[in-house]
Amino acid sequence: MRFTVEAWDSDYGAPTDAELTDASHNVDVNVELRPEDWRPLLPETEPVEDILFIDGVRRVDATIWIDQPPDFPGFALAATYAAGAVRCNGRAMIEESAVERGLFTSAPSSDVATPIGTYEVKATKGTTPEELWLGIQQRMGALEAGVTRRAGGAELVVVDGPLSHARDIDNAVGYIKTQKVQYLPFELRQVLTSLPAGYRTPLFLTTTSWSRFSWYLRLANHAGPAGGLVRCEIDADMASADAARIATRVSATLPRYASARHKDPRAPQNLYPIGGLERELRHRLGDKELAMRALRRAAQAAA
């Protein structure tokens, strides 16, 4: 039996799902090259020197039940989330950050004031934990976009995750380090799995709720079919030739920020600036136990 051991720490799940959702029917692979000409492309250009890396973190502080007699209590999540921007241009420096607290629920409710801050009501659709988590994720994405705008421009803005909330920001690129969807048709997947380190695939166009150009990039050599593999995306409101130039420049830049296994359990996909920003933002979330005690005191005061 032949097998490989994935370098990505299994505590973080897997860098690619075992059963990828097939979305190849929504994809146009003729953007840059004809399908019969698809091959790994080496980005032979100078890397970008002035880059903003954008990321966010979130944490559920407590599960809340909201009294609404005579009906069953309403379900809510009290969460703290943060976003930040770190600029790399010879040195790395956090330029902007923000922390917010929210009470995510579809039940009638009001803000919860505590000594550590106020959990403002964030209305969500649905009542399941998954739907409330989606509400937290959406609010965090909006906070990331706001932080990006306040940080000012850069030659390249790398948003950790899909670009949806920041696609109107100049020079923004979505950076997706875990793969859950298969965009390429079967006959082109060999190009993807055979990508050498530092090479990218040709562009392809995906149209769902918005249109975007995407490509895959192998950051570094690592074990497993998804080792070092990331997907990048940019808004499709541009000529395909311009998109190809951006893809080449981005692909020449990102491998220099790939992390090493002894420093990051999600290496190499979790880029060094993003990993450092995540650690700082988690610190700024504050202590979870303190948040829990503050929420309990607020509940007792309201009883």
Domain spans of the chain, in order of start: 10-302
Confidence of residue 188 (pLDDT cuts 50, 70, 90): very high
Mean pLDDT of 43-65: 96
DSSP structural state of residue 194: T
Q: In Å, what is the CA distance from 178 to each residue of 23, 44, 100, 279, 303?
A: 16, 26, 26, 19, 44
Q: How far apart are the first and last CA of the chain?
A: 63
**279-295 pLDDT per residue, tens:** 999 999 999 999 999 99
Model pLDDT, residue 16: 62
Which pTM was predicted?
0.91
Share of the chain above pLDDT 90, in %: 74
Helix-strand-coil split of the chain, %, nearest 5: 30, 35, 40
| pLDDT tops 70 at residue 160 | yes
